[in-house]
Structure 1
Amino acid sequence: MSVYTSVTAAQLDAFFGAYDLGYVVDYAGIPDGIANSHYAVATTQGDYVLTLFEAQNDEELTPVIELMNHLGTSNPLYPNPQTDRQNRLLRSLNGKPALVCKRLAGRSIVSPTPDQCRQIGSELARLHLDTRDYSFPITSHHDVLSIKALFEQVESQLSADDRELILGELQFQAEHEQQTLPGGVIHGDLFRDNALFADGQISGILDFYSACRDHWLRDIAVCANDWCCDDGIFNTQKLASLLSGYETLRPLSATEHQHCNRMLRAAALRFWLSRLVHHHSNRAAALSQPKDPFVFKDLLVQHRNAAHA
């Protein structure tokens, strides 16, 4: 979450005037994240999060918001989109599509414990099972072709050694990508700043705007690369905790276990490149916390070394 598009108090008053959510009493920008602008808004009826989408249009957003609505009606861990008086989920503010969701209790954590890794693994499995029969039209943006497209955007900015590392990893991933693995809807971005905890227990899962159809193991790998990384070092004990929590609800197949390291490598490569693309986009935010791309380069190297140990 970040702030790229500023809004005034008067604009917020007018915007929330279209809802039955009370009057705005306070608001503040939320600095976490990368892609969109987010505000915490307090009204006379409760606390909400207002999101302004910086790049996606209504057509692109509709499937994601329908997914959020589907999940939020049955599970209190998910943000439930709010409708205005005309029963619209998406509206416009400052020329950007805008969405209001109920704000969930809790805070993101910086250094998750093994038990919290177990909890996030369990909830990730629950998400996969809850959506296994859900029809979702957005295809994967984590496959080799998508990663190559990211690479092409930043190739000229890379050192010769980094280009060699990436090209070698792309070749390896392409050789194994056709492996059949179970899948369905994935969150695609379940990093620590997209989950909330209160009193040590998970209280919210946020930001479904990277959701797509893909292998469930891909989602596990994306999640694990963030939750199981301590000061840049991948913690295999935390990975074991995360997988243990996941497998309490959906045991992995033998083939999934065999491809776990490959998926960790693919996820590390993908987020190294996507963060480099964002870094070189020169996109200024009024309130933002920059993300270090090279955390994922280091993870990629660690996973490659582990595969050959």
Structure 2
Amino acid sequence: MEELSTVFPNTIITERSNGTGENSFVYPNKKIMLTIILFSMLISLLGMVGNGIVIWFLGFRIKRNKCTVYILNLAVADFLFLVSIAVVFWFMFCMVNGVKVSLTDTNNIGQLGIVYNFGFNAGIYLLTAISMERCLSALYPIWYQYRRPKHQSAIVCALLWALSCLVTGLEQFICNGTENQEAVSEPCTAVYLFTSTLFLAVIVLMILSSLTLVITIQRISEQCRPPRLYIAVVVSVMVFLISVVPARLLGLLLYFKCVSSNVLMVTFFFITELCSSVNCAANPFIYFLVGSLRQWRCTAPLHEALHKLFKDETETSG
């Protein structure tokens, strides 16, 4: 979403580096901003550790299957976003405290916005693909087991990374630099409408596939214990819908000038990126908690919990 994830950092950087050496940008209460920034950095660090463990485990410790290819790519996308946003928040921390930042640093941070926007977009698309894969496995188990293309997971992941690259490139190279203009250019408006429509379509697909999985879980639980992977996917989608979607939809108000206060705009930026960090950092902990569930007690070691979660792919295929 261009309106929140790329516009605000560049706006703040531009105002901060106005050639006078003074911070001319009006931001909300300093203590509140520092609290949000530090909390976001802590969440980002925890998320980097968690996603790093998932990447190591799925990359080197467990045999890949139809779903773990998606999970591995999702962990890479989340890790990429969290590393980038942690650096951006460190820059914001220095800026709020009045630390002078060189022009080279501001340019580097501005370019870093491309990286975390790319990682975030890829994460959204991959989570949608995972949810739809689980939905297909529940609705058409025979097709999923015997007729599904062998390399479908790898092909879909490659296409979704390419889609993220396309969306991020359009936002950056067409809309970058238009945030301080009174009238947004027509090409940028077209890009914004395309990315917004794509984002809404992703939300609809997530909701429909998750409802299907919830119904499947309820039906299976009447006969036996439902697959852990189904539960993990539903929880991950719920976290995304709760933490990210409301904040991102607020960007519509900003784009259509319903909110014009600089203070509110910066506040929206910090809240949005905090929610995005929570979403990207939560998945590894969801995997661990769901994988270690045994009579509702988290007693399994980390590697055993992850193994139990991801081996459900072969258990449920039959």
Larger RCO of the pair (alpha carbons < 8 Å, separation 6+): 2
Higher-Rg structure is 2
> Same fold by TM-score, threshold 0.5 exceeded?
no
Would you tell me which structure has more helix in proportion to its own residues?
2
TM-score, scaled relative to structure 2: 0.26
Would you tell me which structure has more strand in proportion to its own residues?
1
